[in-house]
Amino acid sequence: MKEEFITTVNYSTLYEAVQSLKSLPRSAPKMGLGFGHFGLGKTFSLEKIAAMENAILLRAAQTWTKSSVLSDLCEELGVDTNGNGPIKYKRAIESLVSEPRVIIVDEIDALLRSSKFEVLEMFRDFHDETGVVIFFVGMEESNRKLKKHKHFYSRIVEFVEFQPIHKEDIESFCMLSDVVIKQDVVEYFIKKFPNLRQIKVLLIRLEKYCSLNDIEEVDLKTFKMSGAEYGDKK
């Protein structure tokens, strides 16, 4: 398979949302939320945006505390990580004011429990004090759960709901394969595997089968015959 980044519909929507937040005036709220099921390319899109925008991409964990987040943030900003919470907080604020950077927090679901909400509140403080864009990304329930916290939710001005993978995305993805994937296989993928992660595995198995059997084009019949769908369980 060719190694190429596909600009999926979901990625484009997310990228546009970040750009739109960046263009807002300093005084306007600039928080965003992306949510959706697994396998829709959320994390991969975030990685790409982080690389392009020089953004700080943090992945929330169940073990996160205010202190650990401050240390992580200070490290990413390249400021001293020693000292107590208020000192680290001040350093991070100063750094973000002098050199603003977009902050992206992935897997926000880990922070939506009442015991962890204080960490989210800290991000709100960063947002209010520095005016930088903070974009949260989580699973589909994160939108519903965040709604309960009205003062927080009111600052979120961009919402991106990750949609099931579009036909065009699957077509572009299949184009990266070393073998020609026929339209009936693409249709089958859309119906049965609307998830790029699964399709990638299928294509890799299919390529192996095709290279062993000297096949250059794959239609649905060949795909079924290859057993790529079932892997080793065939």
Partner 1 sequence: MATKNKTNTPLRYKRNSSALKKVWDYMRRNRTFRFGDVMMITGVTHNYLKAIIWHLTRVGYVEMVEKTKPYSQTQFTLIKSTGAKSPSIINGVVFDYNLNKEIKIETTPPLAKLLAHMNEPKMSKHTIATNAGVSFAVAKRWFTKLSELEIISEIYPIERVDGTKAFVIDLEKAEQLKRDIQNGTFKIKGALNE
- Contacting positions for partner 1 (CB under 8 A): 3-5, 22-27, 44, 47-48, 50-51, 53-54, 57, 59, 75-78, 99-102, 131-133
Rank residues 5 and 159 by Cβ distance to partner 1 and give the closer one.
5
Neighbours of 39 (CB within 10 A): 18
Of 1 and 180, nearer to partner 1 (C-beta) is 1
Q: Considering the complex, what minimum distance in angstroms separates the CB of residue 82 from partner 1?
A: 13
Contact partners, residue 79, CB within 8 Å, separation at least 6: 91, 92, 94, 95
In the complex, the smallest distance separating the C-beta of residue 147 from partner 1, rounded to whole angstroms, is: 27
CB of residue 133 to partner 1, shortest distance in Å: 8
- Nearest residue (CB) to partner 1, 17 versus 146: 17
Closest to 227 (Cα-Cα) out of 194, 1, 171, 213: 213
Question: What are the angstrom distances between the C-alpha of 151 and each of 108, 113, 139?
Answer: 17, 16, 21
Q: Which residue has the tokens 């973000």?
A: 96
Minimum CB distance to partner 1 smaller for 6 or for 139: 6
In this complex, which beta carbon is closest to partner 1, that of residue 78 or of residue 115?
A: 78
Please identify, using beta-carbon distances, which residue of 146 and 228 lies nearer to partner 1: 228
Q: Give me the least distance between CB of 232 and partner 1, in Å please.
A: 17
Q: Are the beta carbons of 38 and 165 closer than 8 angstroms?
A: no
Least CB distance to partner 1 at residue 132 (A): 7
Our measurement of the distance from residue 211's CA atom to the centroid of its chain's CA atoms, rounded to an integer in Å, reads: 33
Query: Tokens 């962890």 correspond to what residue?
Result: 116
The number of beta carbons lying within 10 Å of the beta carbon of residue 59 is 15
Instruction: Give me 166's structure tokens.
Output: 């579009």
**Could you tell me the smallest distance in angstroms from the CB atom of residue 122 to partner 1?**
20
